[in-house]
Amino acid sequence: MSSQIKINKLAERYPFNNEELEQLIRCHSALLDVHNTDSFLTKIALSSPYSYFFLPGNEMRRRIELVENNILPQGFGSCLRAAMSVDLFVDCANEGEDLTLERFLEGVADCGQRGHKEALRVVWDCASYLGGFEDELKPSVIVDMCYRLAFAADVTVSPNADAQAIIAKLESEHDGACLPLEKSLAQFGQKGLVQRENFVEWAEMMVPQLSSTLSTFMHNLLFHTKYTTHHFNFVPFKYPKLDQTSSIFGGVHCSNLFALAVTSPLMGGSWHNLYSFEHHGNSMNRLQYSILGYSGPSVTVMETDQGHILGAFLNTTWKKSKEFYGDSNAFIFQLHPTLTVFNPTGTETNFVRLQDGIGFGGTQDMPRLYIPASMEACNAGVMDKTFHEGNLLPTEALEKFNIKSLEVWGVGGDEAIKKGLDAREAQRALTDSTIYQARVIKDKSSLVKDINLLDSNLYKHLDAARGRAEFRVDDKHGGYVLERDQ
């Protein structure tokens, strides 16, 4: 059978295009070479045309050795190979010529191209092999592996990745790479251990992007960064990159950033600071000015004076409104000490309301999460009809809290952020223009509506004056004049 006929037959069975299949066949041949003593991951990486056409010398080998020796858990490559080599009876598309090739292709597809559930199965099996082939695992084994995979995926393809800073960060975390995630997963098991079904339930409910750490690492290893969207069954994981310093997240490799990044595909990539106490001051007016009109995904994060972290994610345009607005992409969360995501129930749609203060969920009189105009004595409730119930603050904390730090970030990547900022600037221009016109237009109601302002006493003196003979428009000065008898 010719090579092209073989590829065409394989393309009918596996979620890869012809170019990817050619690459995977080269990888498989390298794995079968008994004279090649390189590791599993090195053989795969060096089979990529990118490694010898676009990288100088032994650059790819250097990167993989760095990843295997300093970033990934020891022995990860062998565990991954075992997890991919599932003992399945495969009906060969190439007339039974090579069952090992079929199993290899199936294993690669299971790392992401077969969908979320299969990728979670491979993640669990890898962690199980690392943990000693146990049916129950400590949450730290799984979380630490995925945390390291996120960094490994970046170092594999990015010449700008600060590998030494990443290594130093990993070596300094003796008490756990990402404690909020570990505590979150532990709640789904018993006695500090979790089983496969516990892990899958937790991942699907709390961290749907977790399996993408493995999927992205494998894709970068095999195909570099060339993403093929026509059959791409996962969203690539991207570690958040902040454009400003953060008093809540600290360094760029903060594990709390990783915890948030795995909650939604829109949390990865570039983050743009819209507002923070550190850069804009503690003021509701400045907060509202910074976010009004911004269109696109954003995350509001607060650290309390007790060191707890909580917040809300929205994918809607910020606006002033007497009514609630938003969509079902919204969720509220506790980030520290334990990651807990409260997704919409589907019963109510009171996602966000911005008036004098900002409320998420609940009702106008009692929002689930509320930041008043004073930014003091905020509220974090346990239940409402919009989001699933649970503690936004630890059980020992009161529902009332004071803010130590508050930050709002535009997220979703460079394109989404640019679109959001453009929308904000357009809103500001409209507001400025409307306020200017309001100086000479008699009926202010439509203008007030345009700029999302509440009706107020601002123009009442003008309304009371209308109809009086001595009150007229002053065309010369662009306003009004009251003529009194001398």
What is the Cα–Cα distance from 141 to 149, expressed in whole angstroms? 12
Domain closes at, from 231, 251, 285: 231
Same domain, 332 and 186: no
Percent of residues, the chain, with pLDDT higher than 70? 84
What integer pLDDT is reported at residue 454 of this predicted model? Answer: 46
**Stretch 287-304: mean pLDDT, rounded?**
97
In a domain, 202, yes or no: yes
In a domain, 398, yes or no: yes
Same domain, 272 and 393: yes
157: containing domain: 3-231
Say if residue 139 is preceded by a cis peptide, omega within 30 of 0.
no
pLDDT above 60 (res 90): no
Domain closes at, from 176, 208, 231: 231
- Kindly report the average pLDDT of the chain as a whole number: 87
What is the Cα–Cα distance from 326 to 433, expressed in whole angstroms? 27
What is the Cα–Cα distance from 276 to 143, expressed in whole angstroms? 30
pLDDT above 70 (res 472): no
Same domain, 36 and 149: yes
Same domain, 159 and 289: no
In a domain, 454, yes or no: no
pLDDT above 80 (res 226): no
What integer pLDDT is reported at residue 11 of this predicted model? Answer: 87
In a domain, 252, yes or no: no
Same domain, 115 and 55: yes
What integer pLDDT is reported at residue 130 of this predicted model? Answer: 94
- Token pair for 113: 């191209």
Domain closes at, from 174, 204, 231: 231
- What CATH number is associated with residue 7? 1.10.238
What integer pLDDT is reported at residue 217 of this predicted model? Answer: 96
What integer pLDDT is reported at residue 356 of this predicted model? Answer: 94
What integer pLDDT is reported at residue 89 of this predicted model? Answer: 47
Q: 159 pLDDT band (50/70/90 cuts)?
A: confident
Same domain, 71 and 134: yes
pLDDT tens column, 4-37: 888 888 888 898 988 899 999 999 999 999 899 9
More confident residue, 174 or 13: 13
Q: How many domains does the chain have?
A: 2
**Stretch 233-262: mean pLDDT, rounded?**
89
Same domain, 73 and 204: yes
What integer pLDDT is reported at residue 166 of this predicted model? Answer: 84
CB-CB contact of 350 with 363 (8 Å)? yes
What integer pLDDT is reported at residue 93 of this predicted model? Answer: 46
Q: 455 pLDDT band (50/70/90 cuts)?
A: very low
Q: 43 pLDDT band (50/70/90 cuts)?
A: very high
Averaging pLDDT over each range in 378-392, 426-440, 463-477, which range is the top one?
378-392
In a domain, 433, yes or no: no
In a domain, 13, yes or no: yes
**Stretch 453-462: mean pLDDT, rounded?**
49
Same domain, 273 and 216: no
Neighbours of 379 (CB within 10 A): 19
What integer pLDDT is reported at residue 145 of this predicted model? Answer: 96
In a domain, 33, yes or no: yes
Percent of residues, the chain, with pLDDT higher than 90? 66
CB-CB contact of 433 with 450 (8 Å)? no
Same domain, 290 and 399: yes
pLDDT above 60 (res 337): yes
In a domain, 39, yes or no: yes
pLDDT above 90 (res 162): no
pLDDT tens column, 399-424: 899 999 999 999 999 999 999 999 99
For residues 175-190, one letter each, b for 16 or more C-beta atoms within 10 angstroms of the residue's C-beta and e for the rest, the string is ebbbbbbbbbbbebbe
pLDDT above 50 (res 94): no
Phi, psi dihedral angles at 332 (to 5 degrees): -115, 160
What is the Cα–Cα distance from 11 to 13, expressed in whole angstroms? 5
Same domain, 216 and 299: no
Q: 216 pLDDT band (50/70/90 cuts)?
A: very high
Same domain, 50 and 175: yes
pLDDT tens column, 101-135: 989 999 999 999 988 899 999 999 999 999 887 88
Same domain, 172 and 51: yes
pLDDT above 50 (res 258): yes
**Stretch 277-291: mean pLDDT, rounded?**
96
